Structure 1
């Protein structure tokens, strides 16, 4: 833990959990979309498609999070001469 009070390991576990939740929501959304399309429910189908696109964007945004955490973890607390 750094002097800023943030444990990098705990942070990584939390971000991984968030990524898992997004992945689970995406899987459920795809199943719901298939059901909606199968019954001709176009209005909800378009909303589900938009939600799935947003979930995909969220997962892409988190790509490489372990490296980002490591990079930030190594940078915190460094001394810079002015």
Structure 2
């Protein structure tokens, strides 16, 4: 669906791609945090787990953006785009 000059389907796919990337990075941070903790690097472990929590927040915000995209597209559905 194209609304206000934005293909919302493609836009949502791009948000999903970003989310997939962040999910992978979160997994790596989680793994490295445990490796650091197992090696006795408590401060590194704590910092990496804090970064993991922030990545969780990023993913939640991306979900909210996807919901907002649907809402905004519905609200602006009266706008049309014409090719020239």
TM (normalized to structure 2)? 0.77
Work out the CA distance in 2 between the residues paired with 1:35 and 1:59: 23
Structure with a larger share of its residues in strand: 2
Task: Structure 1: state its 5+ residue gaps.
Answer: none
How far 1:74 sits from its partner (Å)? 1.5
Partner of residue 29, structure 2: 29
Partner of residue 70, structure 2: 70
Aligned length: 78
How far 1:42 sits from its partner (Å)? 1.7
Deviation by residue 1:16-55 (Cα, 9 ceiling, x = unmatched): 1111111111111111011101101122112101101101
Partner of residue 42, structure 1: 42
Work out the CA distance in 1 between the residues paired with 2:67 and 2:55: 21
Q: Quick check: 41-50 or 7-16, which moved more? A: 41-50
